[in-house]
Structure 1
Amino acid sequence: MAEPGEPRRAGRLPRRVDADAESVRRDLVRLVLTIVELVRQLMERQALRRVESGTLAEEQVEDLGLALMELEQAMAELRDHFGFTEAELNLDLGPLGPLLPRDG
């Protein structure tokens, strides 16, 4: 805190942030879903590497594919339930680009 007579420094954050409970809850849900989606995409990429390396039996490849499809469906249901789109979960990291790049 600035001493009496000391000028306030530019860029200093306010002592209090006005945030309603609903927006805090929504932002927290968005962050959690973003992290889960990031982990899901990393698991999918790792699974594809294992499939391409030929180290899995045909039955394992089938099971893995089904599990990944179910996980993707569950994420879609969670996004719908909380009212988020895929784009809203893709955080912009500024100069680093989007957090969740999609293979096009």
Structure 2
Amino acid sequence: MQPGSPTNGRIHWDPDNAKHGLAQLVLTVIELLRQIVERHAIRRVEGGTLTDEQIENLGEALMNLEEKMEELKEIFNLDTEDLNIDLGPLGSLL
């Protein structure tokens, strides 16, 4: 998020800083996909259809993805609230 600008759940398309708004949008989509994949993985683990090795690999992959997201948020000076965009009458995305 840009210093001094309030978090209001909207993508900030400042013409002078379009790169930041685009990064916010892209990271929001990536975070949404990450959460979907994580939920699907949890269902598969709870369903008992994975081997111990597959569970271990899945857990490691999800941890690595989460770490990378944290790195990217830091690079673009965003926090989790910045990725939770407001969809109007549909509510918040994340």
Does TM, normalized by the shorter one, top 0.5? yes
1:19 aligns with 2:15: yes
Match of 2:27 among 33, 53, 75: 33
Relative contact order (C-alpha < 8 Å, sep 6+): which is higher? 2
Q: Distance in 1 between matches of 2:15 and 2:34?
A: 30
The alignment's TM-score, normalised by the length of structure 1, stands at 0.74
How far residue 95 of structure 1 moved from its aligned partner, in angstroms, is 2.0
Runs of 4+ aligned residues of structure 1 deviating over 2 Å after TM superposition are none
Q: Distance in 2 between matches of 1:19 and 1:87?
A: 22
CA RMSD of aligned residues (A): 1.2
How far residue 97 of structure 1 moved from its aligned partner, in angstroms, is 1.5
Q: Give structure 2 stretches of 5+ with no counterpart.
A: 1-13
Q: Distance in 2 between matches of 1:51 and 1:96?
A: 31
Choose 1 or 2 for highest CA Rg. Answer: 1
Q: Secondary structure at the match of 2:50?
A: coil
Q: Secondary structure at the match of 2:78?
A: coil
Paired-residue identity, % = 56
Give the number of equivalent residue pairs: 81
Q: Distance in 1 between matches of 2:71 and 2:79?
A: 11
Q: Distance in 1 between matches of 2:89 and 2:29?
A: 20
